[in-house]
Structure 1
Amino acid sequence: MMRNTEARFGIVTRSIHWISAVLVIGMLGFGTYIARMEVDMSNFHLFGWHKSFGLVALTLVILRVLWHRLSPPPGPMPSGPAWQDRLAKGTHLALYLLLLAVPLTGWIASAATGIDVVVFESWTLPRIAPVSEGWETAFFAAHGVLTKLLAALILLHVAGAFHRRDGTLRRMLRGRA
């Protein structure tokens, strides 16, 4: 079943979720690794790969939002206290916002350096910020802070999925509780 129903996540939603999860967790680790490097010509390509996969992550979250408009996800499993449902909704909203903000701040920061953002060594993204040391510094700092918030929310999201024991995790793995 491609589309979501009132009780099930469809294959499209589950695929986008798990591909995004693997990609974003990998990007968090890879980004942490390259952030400690001094940029030079011997490792410059690593930053290009990070930017390229960041664009893939941004594209996936946009597709996911559009898909949810076409095929709304099922509601939460009715099991726990109301505060847990509110926390889950708030966490999901914050995750979506951060999944948009993290790659966008990275793109803005990279554009502000004056160096073209080239995706998979094939095509150049439009420059979406002026070349500016101030912008570069501010947006790389924002990118770093937002990335840490994203990592913390991912941990909260995973902990919530394991804590609930109400079929939510099974539903995201198999489509049904």
Structure 2
Amino acid sequence: MMSGTLVNTPNRFGLITRLLHWATAIAVLGLLVLGTYIARMQVNLSNLWLFGLHKSIGVTALLLTLLRIAWHIWTPPPPPLPDARWRIALARAVHRAIYALLLLTPIFGWAASSATGLDVVVFNRWTLPAMAPVSEAWETALFLIHRVLATTLAVLIVVHVAGALTRRDGTLWRMIWGRPVPPHGA
């Protein structure tokens, strides 16, 4: 039955959940690398496209996150596998913080870009409305907040990945393949 593999069940992450997770992960890793690179650049005509690419991927990551939240409301993820209470609570707190940062980081980036006076154009096609007044003070403050949020997100991603890699209960296997880890020897 196809729908059983697309949606979450009490024991499995569905295909759509896994695709949204990994698409978001790829987008965010690309954003962190590109953001670190362009943060050291002076904006000019020869590199403006890199800033536009960063904004476009950022808006994509924001939309993926909104879609993930809606999807989780419609088809809740399976409960965590049995573990120590502190570890489950920590994982839940890290997940919630990551989701908050996946929303706030691009929103503050969008607002900071708006404060520069340059349009936020997504994939050279859609111009987004400005979110902040054109102001050097606003630009400085908003880009600082954007960088702090992005750095915090990067740290939490490391914690998230470390948690997934150190668990021996099949949690990572469930997020990759959707089902519990196969029995030994299978």
Range class of TM-score, shorter chain: over 0.9
Shift of 1:63: 0.2
Shift of 1:45: 1.1
**Which has the larger Rg?**
2
Residue 14 in structure 1 maps to residue 18 in structure 2: yes
SS where residue 18 of structure 2 aligns? Answer: helix
Kindly report which structure 2 residues correspond to 1:42-53, keeping only aligned pairs within 5 A, or say none: 42-53=46-57
Task: Give the equivalent residue in structure 1 for 2:101.
Answer: 98
Q: From 32, 38, 44, give the equivalent of 2:36.
A: 32
Kindly report the root-mean-square deviation, in angstroms, between the aligned alpha carbons of the 2 structures: 0.7
Task: Give the equivalent residue in structure 1 for 2:63.
Answer: 59
More deviation, 129-138/141-150: 129-138
Distance (Å, rounded) in 2 between the aligned partners of 1:72 and 1:81: 22
Partner AA of 2:110 in structure 1: W
Distance (Å, rounded) in 1 between the aligned partners of 2:36 and 2:43: 14
Shift of 1:164: 1.2
Q: From 140, 143, 148, give the equivalent of 2:143.
A: 140
Q: Across the two proteins, how many residue pairs are aligned to each other?
A: 176
Task: Give the equivalent residue in structure 2 for 1:111.
Answer: 114
Shift of 1:122: 1.1
Distance (Å, rounded) in 2 between the aligned partners of 1:121 and 1:26: 19
Distance (Å, rounded) in 1 between the aligned partners of 2:119 and 2:153: 26
Distance (Å, rounded) in 2 between the aligned partners of 1:68 and 1:123: 28
Distance (Å, rounded) in 2 between the aligned partners of 1:172 and 1:98: 21
Q: Where in structure 2 are there 5+ consecutive unaligned residues?
A: 181-186
TM-score, length-normalised on structure 1? 0.98
Task: Give the equivalent residue in structure 1 for 2:184.
Answer: none
TM-score, length-normalised on structure 2? 0.93
Moved over 2 A (4+): none
Aligned-pair identity in percent equals 57
Shift of 1:116: 0.6
